[in-house]
Amino acid sequence: MDLKRFLFAVILFTVVAQIVHTLGSILAMGYYLDPAYFDVWSKIMMPIAGPPPAKFFFLSIDLGLIASIIYVYAYVILEKSIPGKGWVRNGLNYGALLFLLGTLPGMLSIVLLINLPILLILEWAAEGLVVMLIGGLITAGLMRKEEPKAEEKKASTKKQKKNN
């Protein structure tokens, strides 16, 4: 595994997630400003009524980095078993897998456990789908195995024929 590409994939995955979730929070701002839901939000996110403090933003990045490390490393382990020819299909399939195994069950649990508007939860699920698909593409694109150059392929083929 190429550590530089691994770290670059982790950072890009995290940046994409942060951007998508920030844009999503702007679109769903009405829910966050509704006093009926103030008690639902954590004291880290909303210690008082109003916008989250900087600490929340930095903790979001930290948790995003941890999640991205897990996702990219899981790809390294599972790469050969993910369907799709070429890195684009492979990345989309991996992103869909992350969504189906992680995001979707989490959103279904929220529906059962927390009194939040279903449209907000659907918006979070849509954000998750976008993040996972783009993150899957980033991961597959950066972590794919390098194709040997034409000369290396020929040399390898000659060496195999010689050994047989």
pLDDT string in tens for the chain (164-residue length): 899 999 999 999 999 999 999 999 999 998 888 888 888 888 888 887 777 889 999 999 999 999 999 999 999 999 999 998 899 999 999 999 999 999 999 999 999 999 899 999 999 999 999 999 999 999 999 998 766 565 555 665 666 666 65
- Residue 120: CB atoms within 10 A of its CB come to 17
**What is the predicted pLDDT for the residue at 71?**
97
**What is the predicted pLDDT for the residue at 94?**
97
94, 136 contact by CB (below 8 A): yes
Task: Give pTM, 2 decimals.
Answer: 0.83
